[in-house]
Every structure is written in C-alpha cells, then in structure tokens.
Amino acid sequence: MGTMIIKVLVTAVVVVAVSELAKRSTLAGALLASLPLTSVLALTWLYRDTGSAMQAAILARSIFWLVLPSLAFFLVFPAVVRSGYGFWAAMGSATLATLISYSVMLGLDRAFNLRWFG
C-alpha cells in the first residue's frame, strides 16, 4: 500500500507542476507537459512491480502507436476555441476527436493484424 501512495504522490506532483508552471509561462508548462513523464513513470512503476523489461518494452511500443492518434486533441482543441466556442465545448470536441482517432488506429491494427499493441 505504501508503494501505491508513493506512485500517486509522484504522479500528482508532476501534474500540479505542469499547471503551476503554465501559469507563469505557457511555453515552460507545455515543455514539461510534452516530456513523456507519464510514460516514464508508468514504465518505471511497471518494471518495478513486475521486474519485466519485456513487458515495459511492449507498453512503450503501444504508447508510441497511441501517441499518434492522441495528437488530434491538440489540433482540435485550439481550432474549436479559435472558432469562438468555449473551453468545455472545445474540450468535448477534442476528446471526441481523440476517441475517434484511437478507434481508427485500433481498427487498423485489428484489420491488418499489425500487432502494434501487445
């Protein structure tokens, strides 16, 4: 249980650091957020818990392939805001676009048996 608390605290510190840094400098906040900190933490926790470098490698490969469709979020969100819609409409639209992009990526993986995931 102590390990779980440490995981949650470290992860929370990273998220709070990004939001606090972005208040001072959006560039600095974006730079910190763009680093694969979540992935590094997840890979570290997975390896620590399982001792399997192979399982961590499979996770890393899967993350790579899912980063591509997740980029839709960062295209749609600012486009919707610039179109005059509010934050929540942009957040919803960007999330929906990302989910659609994930579905397309997973569909391609299954249709062509690409084995990008696992």
The ranges assigned to domains in the chain are 59-118
C-alpha–C-alpha distance, residues 6 and 16, integer Å: 15
pLDDT, residue 25, reads: 94
C-alpha–C-alpha distance, residues 36 and 33, integer Å: 8
The whole-number average pLDDT for the span 63-76 is: 95
49-62 burial code (b ≥16 CB/10 A, e <16): eeeeeeebeebeee
Is pLDDT of 3 > 90? no
CB distance 59 to 42 below 8 Å: yes
Is pLDDT of 1 > 90? no
The whole-number average pLDDT for the span 95-116 is: 95
Work out the mean pLDDT of the chain and round it to a whole number: 93
C-alpha–C-alpha distance, residues 26 and 84, integer Å: 21
pLDDT, residue 2, reads: 85
